[in-house]
Chain A
Amino acid sequence: MADLSKANAAVHPSEAEGVAREPLVLNNRSLGWITDRICGIVENRQPFIWWVLFVPSVFGFLCLLFSLVYLVSTGVGVWGMNHPVAWGWDIVNFVFWIGIGHAGTLISAILFLTRQKWRTSVNRASEAMTIFAVMCAGIFPGFHVGRFWMVWFLAPIPNSNAIWQNFKSPLLWDVFAVSTYFTVSVLFWYIGLIPDLATLRDRAKGLGKKLYGFFALGWRGGNRQWRHYEMAYLILAALSTPLVLSVHSVVSFDFATSVVPGWHTTIFPPYFVAGAIFGGFAMVLTLMLPVRKLYGLEDLITAKHIDNMAKIILLTGTIVGYAYIMELFISYYSANAFETDAFHMRILSGPYTWAYYCMFFCNVIAPQVFWFKWSRHNLWMVFIIVNLVNAGMWFERFVIIPTSLARDFLPGQWGYYSASWVEKLLFAGSFGMFMMLFLLFLRFLPVIAISEVKGVLPESDPHYPDWKHLRDKRRVSSK
Chain B
Amino acid sequence: MSNSSSSSTELFGYVAEFSSATDLYHAAEKVRDAGFRRWDVHTPYPVHGMDHAMGLGKSWLSALVLVGGITGSMTALLLQFFTQVSLYPTVVQDKPLNLFTIPAFFPVTFELTILFSAFATLIGLFSLIMLPRWNHPLFNSPLFSKFSNDGFLLVIEARDPKFKREKTKELLSEIGAGKIEEVTY
Contact = CB atoms under 8 A, between A and B. Distances in A.
Interface residues of A, number: 71
A29 to B, nearest CB: 11
Contacts, number: 215
Contact of A167 (B108, B119, B136, B148): B108
Interface string B1-24: 000000000000000000011101
Which 7 interchain pairs have the tightest Cβ spacing? A31-B150, A462-B25, A217-B132, A455-B45, A222-B40, A231-B59, A164-B83
A141 to B, nearest CB: 16
A153 interface: no
Interface string A241-263: 01100100010010000000000
- By secondary structure, the B interface counts as helix
B112 A180 contact: yes
Given A180-B115, A235-B61, A35 B150 contact: yes
B49 A463 contact: yes
Given A464-B21, A464-B22, 5 more contacts: A164-B87, A195-B45, A221-B147, A222-B155, A223-B50
A210 B29 CA distance: 36
Given A223-B56, A250-B107, A218 B131 contact: yes
Given A163-B88, A236-B118, A454-B44, A460 B21 contact: yes
B83 A227 contact: no
A147 B83 CA distance: 24
A164 B61 contact: no
A87 B12 CA distance: 65
Interface of A: 30-32, 35, 156, 162-170, 172-173, 176-177, 180, 183-184, 187-188, 191, 194-195, 198-199, 201-203, 213-214, 217-232, 235-236, 239, 242-243, 246, 250, 253, 450-452, 454-455, 459-464, 467-468, 471
A65 B38 CA distance: 55
Contact of B43 (A177, A199, A223, A450): A223
A176 B104 CA distance: 13
B34 to A, nearest CB: 17
A470 B124 CA distance: 39
A227 B92 contact: no
A223 B150 contact: no
- By secondary structure, the A interface counts as helix
A166 B118 CA distance: 25
B20 A467 contact: yes
A228 B83 contact: no
Given A176-B112, A202-B145, A250-B107, A223 B95 contact: no
B56 A177 contact: no
A218 B136 contact: yes
Contact of A227 (B59, B118, B135, B150): B59
Contact of A228 (B61, B92, B108, B133): B61
A221 B59 contact: no
Given A218-B133, A223-B56, A462 B121 contact: no
Contact of B105 (A167, A194, A223): A167
A183 to B, nearest CB: 6
A462 B51 contact: no
A242 to B, nearest CB: 7
Contact of A156 (B45, B83, B101): B83
Contacts of A236: 118, 121
B125 interface: yes
B47 A173 contact: no
A228 B149 contact: no
Given A187-B118, A191-B125, A222 B41 contact: yes
B90 A168 contact: yes
Given A227-B59, A228-B61, A228-B128, A222 B42 contact: yes
A167 B80 contact: yes
A187 B122 contact: yes
B24 A462 contact: yes
B84 A168 contact: yes
A473 to B, nearest CB: 14
B113 to A, nearest CB: 9
Contacts of B183: none
A183 B134 contact: no
Nearest to A32: B150
A366 B54 CA distance: 53
A164 B46 contact: no
Contacts of B93: 168
A199 B111 contact: no
15 contacts: A167-B79, A173-B108, A184-B115, A187-B118, A199-B149, A218-B133, A219-B131, A221-B147, A225-B131, A228-B125, A229-B46, A232-B61, A232-B125, A236-B121, A239-B114
Contacts of B62: 231, 235
A454 B43 CA distance: 10
A8 to B, nearest CB: 15
Contacts of A30: 150
A218 B40 contact: no
Nearest to B24: A462
A223 B47 contact: yes
B110 interface: yes
- Which of B87, B131, B134 has the most chain A CB within a 10 Å cutoff? B131
Nearest to B82: A164
Nearest to B116: A180
- Which of A172, A235, A459, A467 has the most chain B CB within a 10 Å cutoff? A235
Contacts of B56: 223-224, 227
A163 B90 CA distance: 10
Nearest to A230: B46
B70 interface: no
